[in-house]
Chain A
Amino acid sequence: MFGGIFEKAITATISLGMMLFSSYQGNTPSFAQSRAFSRSNQITVQATLENAFNEDFRQILQSGHSVAIDFTLTLRSQQSTEIISFQHIAIYDPLLCTWELTCEEKNNRTFTIDSWNEFANANSDFHFQKTHDMETPIEVNLVASLPTVTMGQNNKSFDLMIFWNYHKPYCNVIIL
Chain B
Amino acid sequence: MKFRFGLRTIVVLLYLALFTAGLVLIYEYQESKRNELYEEITSLNLNEFMGKIAAEHPEHAEDARSLLCHLNEIKATIEMGNRHTAVYSAFYLILVLVLSLTLFLWAIYTLTNPLAKFSKAATEIARGNFDIQLKESGTWELKDAQKSFNLMSTQLQKTQEKLLEAEKLSIWKQFSRMLAHEIKNPLTPIRLSLERLIEKKHSEKFEEVFDRCTSIISQEVENLQALASNFSNFAKDVPINQKRFHILEQIRGITRSYDDRVEIIITGEDFAIEFDMMHFYQILTNVFQNAIDAAGQGEKLELRLDSTQRSLEIRDHGPGIEPEDINKIFEPYFTKKKKGIGLGLALVKKLTNINHAEINVTSQPGEGSSFIIKFSEVKAIIGGNNENNDH
Chain A: residues with CB nearer than 8 A to chain B?
10, 13-14, 16-18, 20-24, 26, 56, 59-60, 62-65, 92-95, 97, 151-152, 156, 158, 162-163, 165
**A10, A92, A152: residue with the most chain B Cβ atoms closer than 10 Å:** A152
The residue from A16, A20, A151, A165 contacting B80, defined by CB atoms under 8 A apart: A151
Does B93 make an interface contact (CB < 8 A)? Answer: yes
- A152 nearest in chain B by CB position: B77
**Once the chains are docked, how many angstroms separate the CA of A24 from the CA of B79?**
12
- A14 nearest in chain B by CB position: B91
**Once the chains are docked, how many angstroms separate the CA of A76 from the CA of B79?**
40
The residue from B51, B61, B73, B83 contacting A24, defined by CB atoms under 8 A apart: B83
Would you list which residues of chain B between 182 and 227 have a CB under 8 Å from chain A?
Answer: none
A95 and B94: CB pair below 8 A?
Answer: no
The residue from A21, A94, A97 contacting B23, defined by CB atoms under 8 A apart: A21
> How far, in Å, is A147 (CB) from chain B's closest CB?
13
B94 and A22: CB pair below 8 A?
Answer: no
Give chain A residues whose Cβ lies under 8 Å from the Cβ of B113: none
Give chain B residues whose Cβ lies under 8 Å from the Cβ of A93: 65
B74 and A97: CB pair below 8 A?
Answer: no
> How far, in Å, is B59 (CB) from chain A's closest CB?
14
**Once the chains are docked, how many angstroms separate the CA of A163 from the CA of B76?**
13
Q: A20 with B77: in contact, given A14-B91, A95-B65 (CB under 8 Å)?
A: no
The residue from A13, A22, A23, A162 contacting B84, defined by CB atoms under 8 A apart: A162
Does B87 make an interface contact (CB < 8 A)? Answer: yes
Bits for B58-96, please: 1 = Cβ < 8 Å to A, else 0.
000100110011111111110111011011011111110
Count class of interface residues, chain B: 35 or more
Give chain A residues whose Cβ lies under 8 Å from the Cβ of B76: 59-60, 62-63, 65, 151
A24 and B86: CB pair below 8 A?
Answer: yes
Chain B: residues with CB nearer than 8 A to chain A?
20, 23-24, 27-28, 31, 42, 47, 50-51, 54, 61, 64-65, 68-77, 79-81, 83-84, 86-87, 89-95
**B28, B73, B84, B93: residue with the most chain A Cβ atoms closer than 10 Å:** B73
The residue from A14, A26, A59, A92 contacting B79, defined by CB atoms under 8 A apart: A59
B72 and A14: CB pair below 8 A?
Answer: no
Give chain B residues whose Cβ lies under 8 Å from the Cβ of A60: 76, 79-80
A95 and B73: CB pair below 8 A?
Answer: no
**Once the chains are docked, how many angstroms separate the CA of A22 from the CA of B87?**
8
- Identify 22 residue pairs between A and B in the complex whose beta-carbon atoms are under 8 Å apart, listed by A's number: A13-B94, A14-B91, A17-B87, A17-B91, A17-B92, A17-B93, A18-B90, A20-B23, A20-B90, A20-B94, A21-B27, A22-B86, A26-B87, A56-B79, A63-B76, A65-B76, A94-B47, A94-B50, A94-B65, A94-B71, A156-B77, A162-B87
The residue from B50, B69, B95 contacting A13, defined by CB atoms under 8 A apart: B95
B80 and A158: CB pair below 8 A?
Answer: yes
- A15 nearest in chain B by CB position: B90
B51 and A63: CB pair below 8 A?
Answer: no
**Once the chains are docked, how many angstroms separate the CA of A95 from the CA of B31?**
32
**Once the chains are docked, how many angstroms separate the CA of A56 from the CA of B92?**
22
**Once the chains are docked, how many angstroms separate the CA of A63 from the CA of B75?**
7
B68 and A16: CB pair below 8 A?
Answer: no
Give chain B residues whose Cβ lies under 8 Å from the Cβ of A16: 94
A13 and B91: CB pair below 8 A?
Answer: yes
Q: A17 with B94: in contact, given A59-B42, A95-B51 (CB under 8 Å)?
A: yes
Give chain A residues whose Cβ lies under 8 Å from the Cβ of B20: 20
**Once the chains are docked, how many angstroms separate the CA of A94 from the CA of B52?**
13
Give chain A residues whose Cβ lies under 8 Å from the Cβ of B61: 95
A162 and B75: CB pair below 8 A?
Answer: no
**Once the chains are docked, how many angstroms separate the CA of A63 from the CA of B77?**
8
**Once the chains are docked, how many angstroms separate the CA of A97 from the CA of B72?**
12
- A57 nearest in chain B by CB position: B79
B72 and A21: CB pair below 8 A?
Answer: no
**Once the chains are docked, how many angstroms separate the CA of A163 from the CA of B79?**
11
The residue from B72, B84, B90 contacting A17, defined by CB atoms under 8 A apart: B90
Give chain B residues whose Cβ lies under 8 Å from the Cβ of A151: 73, 76-77, 80
B31 and A23: CB pair below 8 A?
Answer: yes
**Once the chains are docked, how many angstroms separate the CA of A56 from the CA of B80?**
9
**A10, A158, A165: residue with the most chain B Cβ atoms closer than 10 Å:** A158
